[in-house]
Amino acid sequence: MTKRKKNKSKLHKSKPDRGLKNKILAYLYKYPNQSFSHKQIARGIKIKDGAAKDLIGFHLRNFVVSGLIEERANGKYRVLDQGESIEKGEKGSGLIGKIELTKSGSGYFLNENGDDIYISSKNLNRALNGDRVEISVFRNARSSKKAEGEVIQIIERARAAYLGIIETFNGNAFLATEKVGRDFFIHGSKLKGAKNGQRAIVKLLDWPKNAKNPFGEVVEVLGDAGDHEVEIHAILAEFGLPANFDKELETEAEKFTEELNEEDLSSRRDFRDICTFTIDPDDAKDFDDALSFQKLDNGNWEIGIHIADVSYYLDQSEVLEEEAFRRATSVYLVDRVVPMLPESLSNKLCSLRPNETKRCFSAVFEINEKAIIKKQWFGRTLINSDHRFTYMEAQKVIEDKAGDYAEELEVLDRLAKIMREKRMKNGAISFDKAEVKFKLDEESNPVKVFFKHSLDAHKLIEEYMLLANKQVASYIGAKMDGEPSGQTFVYRIHDKPDPEKITSFSNFVNQFGFSLQTESSQLSNSMNSLLAEVKNSPFAQMVETLAMRSMSKAKYSTANIGHYGLGFSYYSHFTSPIRRYPDVMVHRLLQHYLEGGTSPGADQYEFACKHSSSMEKLASDAERSSTKYMQVKFLEDKKDIPFEGVVSGVTEWGLYVEIVENKCEGMVALRAIKDDYYIADTKNYMIEGQTSGHQIRLGDKITVKITNTNLFKKTIDMDLILDKSLVK
């Protein structure tokens, strides 16, 4: 086997858990009318480590001294009564975390336990959106019964640079920003040639205490606002994501060849003569998984899930390894993919293209007619794909039962359906939401919206990828008796949903005649029944969206808690190393254990897990932003045309409305509804006219027209059409 370099992962030590104070305080605020002992709090926030338990006592004493909580005579602690308040100056111990600003200029401190703390604009103290800050927490009965916060220290800025549009005046300029919190003042000498109306990137120079706005300097001019390439690059810049690779990295990636060496031939299991094919989207270029298939003499089938061996190449290049770690994921925008690896690797050398010998890391299973695994094998392989299917081509073969590899696809599909049925019975939750896609012209303008639905061919590939991911994680994570092995590994975890969120969601769907069983043992089956019931109703999109929001977020971690949404006790990401760095780590750890290696320390991998989860969130936000950008662009020339829509959200200032035919979402401001004076009742998800009593609720079908679109803000303004005779 190829020896891996000692610096192969380039990981760093994990930072200490600064969220402990947050967890303690959030737990006490969650139960304001109860008091808890030191041990009860430890159990409540799931702390078992002795040193951490000692820290709980330390923090509790500090909270008491600060006046934030009180210690009762029985040695238990509680938050102050709702009627009590702490005047300014009687701040609690500092909590450390990120801050998120709202359109109104106020903010919320994002608490790890989900109980976010409100911070008024006057208490932000020059914090910008996403900054890591330290806050003090206080209660002020004159303004709110809930805890409030004040920023006392900015620990780390969220960004090294800020994106916006240049607005010049008298030789100077402002950078108009979105979702930052403040515009930047730029002296004429710091403009670097930027002109009015251009998108630019600015770095923060200073923010004097007596200045309303931070001072900045232009570091890059992207170009004229509204230009397609400029806008796409601006989306990437907004989330701190790269748009391309340095020439040095591309040159480094091009040095590799497909030529096999003696070690490849001697150490890799050879699948080149076994029937193998790929199934991918029609526009895919990075084929990172393939399936092999052969019938065994005993009547069972040997099915191989073959994954590009990306770590083989990264182990030989420190600069490519560091770049892959830094990016951590590919970014899928509407009109392009920004890959984690240079294209000579992602689209060529690592891509499992037909009739080319490729290095893979494989999970191979002997499976019987009942889709039960009889044997499994993991290791490095050589393959040569015989055929490349698109999903639609594979679907046609499955439906017609004829065509290339019809017999193989029929068996694979049949076994996949058995595995899926078992998975659903074991508690998996099925979110089958349609994906919005755009047809673009030669200039990347959206000319049509269509919806991508999951077909049998999609579900076939999904099941075998889930199988490989689950079995790899179980192989490392569990002993023969099913108990945890304790070996360091990278898991994809998904926690159980918060009971309060589920109860709130259940109460919400009850208003529309649907029901959800909230008991833990019945929740998954009840959720699947609910999603199936609403599927073809006007409430489908709304209920699916809110159901997903009620779930916890999946993330990467070395601490396994299972994957609730899939119903798996052990789960990892093994199948997409071309586009996900955690899969690269999984390949390395799996090979390490296959070679008899002992468990490495978890700290460096946990740090990489947190980084990968963070980068995944940024990529997801960028992808949503590009979709919103295309939606706005698509509707630019469709003003004053009536559209049927569904109320998808209710806020204090208006209704969010999703257009039925294209799923583009816009806002109807309350002030724009002319037939009455409407007030929002956000608790009951509706608005009500004060004179007529007319109510418009979440999920109601209404008719709207587009009045304004703003590409910079990515907003769509709508008016409510009350005369439905205007609808075609």
Q: What DSSP assignment string belongs to 451-520?
A: EE---HHHHHHHHHHHHHHHHHHHHHHB-TTSSB------EEEBPPPPHHHHHHHHHHHHTTT-----ST
pLDDT band at 80 (very low <50, low <70, confident <90, very high): low
pLDDT greater than 80 at residue 544: yes
pLDDT in tens, 467-494: 999 999 999 999 888 889 999 999 999 9
Residue with tokens 């009965």: 141
pLDDT band at residue 345 using 50, 70 and 90 as cut-offs: very high
Check residues 209 and 642 and name the one with the higher pLDDT. 642
The confidence score (pLDDT) of residue 11 equals 40
Residue 476 phi/psi, 5° resolution? -85, -40
- DSSP letters, 394-422, are HHHHHHHT-STTHHHHHHHHHHHHHHHHH
For 120-138, the pLDDT digits (tens) are 888 999 999 989 888 888 7
- Region of 582 (left: φ > 0; alpha: ψ -120 to 50; beta: rest) is alpha
pLDDT at residue 344 in the model: 95
- Amino acid letter, residue 693: G
**Alpha-carbon span 243 to 236, nearest angstrom:** 6
Asked whether the predicted pLDDT for residue 23 surpasses 50, the reply is yes
Q: Give, as one character, the DSSP assignment of residue 563.
A: B
> Among residues of the chain, what percentage have pLDDT more than 90?
58
Cα–Cα distance for residue pair 274/119, rounded to 1 Å: 62
Where do the domains of the chain lie?
Answer: 20-156, 162-225, 248-495+557-620, 499-551, 636-726
Rounded distance between C-alpha atoms, residue 336 and residue 347, angstroms:
13
**Structure-model confidence comparison of residues 549 and 614, the more confident one:** 614
Beta strand pairing call for 387-390 and 276-280 = parallel
Greater pLDDT, 50 or 422: 422
- Split at pLDDT 50, 70, 90, the class of 90 is very low
CB 391 within 8 A of CB 277: no
Q: What pLDDT is stored for residue 667 in this prediction?
A: 94
Hunting for tokens 């060849």 — which residue is that? 257
Q: Which helix (H) or strand (E) holds 57?
A: helix 50-66
Predicted confidence (pLDDT) at residue 412 exceeds the cutoff of 60: yes
Give the residue, 353 or 640, on which the prediction is more confident. 353
Across the chain, mean pLDDT equals: 87
Which pLDDT band holds residue 114 (cuts at 50, 70, 90)? low
Question: Residue 539's pLDDT band (boundaries 50, 70, 90)?
Answer: confident
Q: For the segment 426-468, what is each residue's pLDDT rounded down to a tens digit?
A: 989 888 777 888 999 988 899 999 888 889 999 999 999 999 9
Q: Which residue has the higher pLDDT, 69 or 497?
A: 497
- Express each pLDDT in 682-697 by its tens digit: 878 889 999 999 999 8
Closest CA to 324 of 339, 306, 312, 343: 339
In the predicted structure, residue 611 carries a pLDDT above the cut 90: yes
Dist. CA 220–CA 319, nearest whole Å: 25
At residue 313, the pLDDT reads 96
Would you place residue 304 in the very low, low, confident or very high pLDDT band (cuts 50, 70, 90)? very high
CB atoms < 10 A from the CB of 299, how many? 8
Tokens standing for 540?
A: 């489908």
For the stretch 360-369, pLDDT in tens is 999 999 999 9
Query: What is the distance between the alpha carbons of residues 106 and 130, in angstroms, rounded to a whole number?
Result: 13
Confidence of residue 142 (pLDDT cuts 50, 70, 90): low
Question: Residue 571: which pLDDT band, with cuts at 50, 70 and 90?
Answer: very high
User: How far apart are the C-alpha atoms of 437 and 662, rounded to whole Å?
Assistant: 10
Coil, strand or helix: which one is 272?
Answer: coil
Distance of alpha carbon 425 from alpha carbon 413, whole angstroms:
18
Report the half-sphere exposure of 672 (CA within 13 A, side-chain side).
Answer: 17
- Give the chain's end-to-end CA distance (angstroms, integer): 68
- Return d(Cα 624, Cα 583) in angstroms, integer: 23
User: Read out DSSP for 369-381?
Assistant: TT--EEEEEEEEE
Residue 657's nearest CA partner among 676, 674, 675, 673 is 673
Band (pLDDT 50/70/90 cuts) for residue 65 is low
Instruction: Flag whether pLDDT at 13 surpasses 80.
Output: no
Domain 636-726 has CATH 3.30.1050.10: no
Query: What is the arithmetic mean of pLDDT over 549-568?
Result: 93
pLDDT at residue 87 in the model: 35
Q: What sign does the dihedral 367-371-376-382 (CA atoms) show? A: positive
Question: Which pLDDT band holds residue 713 (cuts at 50, 70, 90)?
Answer: confident
Q: Does 2.40.50.140 match the CATH number of domain 20-156?
A: yes
At residue 659, the pLDDT reads 93
Residue 50: per-residue pLDDT: 67
What is the band of 238 on the pLDDT scale with cuts at 50, 70, 90? Answer: confident
> Residue 89: which pLDDT band, with cuts at 50, 70 and 90?
very low
**618 pLDDT above the threshold of 70:** yes
Cβ atoms of 257 and 312 closer than 8 Å: no
Predicted confidence (pLDDT) at residue 640 exceeds the cutoff of 60: yes
- pLDDT on residue 720: 93
Closest CA to 348 of 358, 361, 333: 358
pLDDT at 704 over 90: yes
The reported pLDDT for the residue numbered 717 is 95
What six digits make up the tokens of 697?
């609720």
Task: Report the pLDDT value the prediction gives residue 3, as an integer from 0 to 100.
Answer: 38
What is the pairing mode between strands 665-669 and 715-720?
Answer: parallel
Of 61-65, 241-245, 373-377, 389-393, least confident by mean pLDDT is 61-65
What span, in angstroms and rounded, lies between the C-alpha atoms of 656 and 676?
18
pLDDT at position 17 over 70: no
Better pLDDT: 270 or 514: 270
Least confident window among 106-120, 294-308, 570-584: 106-120
Place of tokens 């430890």: 42
| Least trusted range by pLDDT, from 7-11, 43-47, 584-588 | 7-11
Phi and psi, residue 207, nearest 5°: -145, 85
pLDDT at 552 over 50: yes
621: pLDDT confidence band, cut at 50, 70 and 90? very high
Supply the pLDDT for residue 436: 86
Bigger pLDDT: 595 or 8? 595
Is CATH 3.90.25.10 correct for 162-225? no
Q: Return the structure tokens found at 125.
A: 């103290």
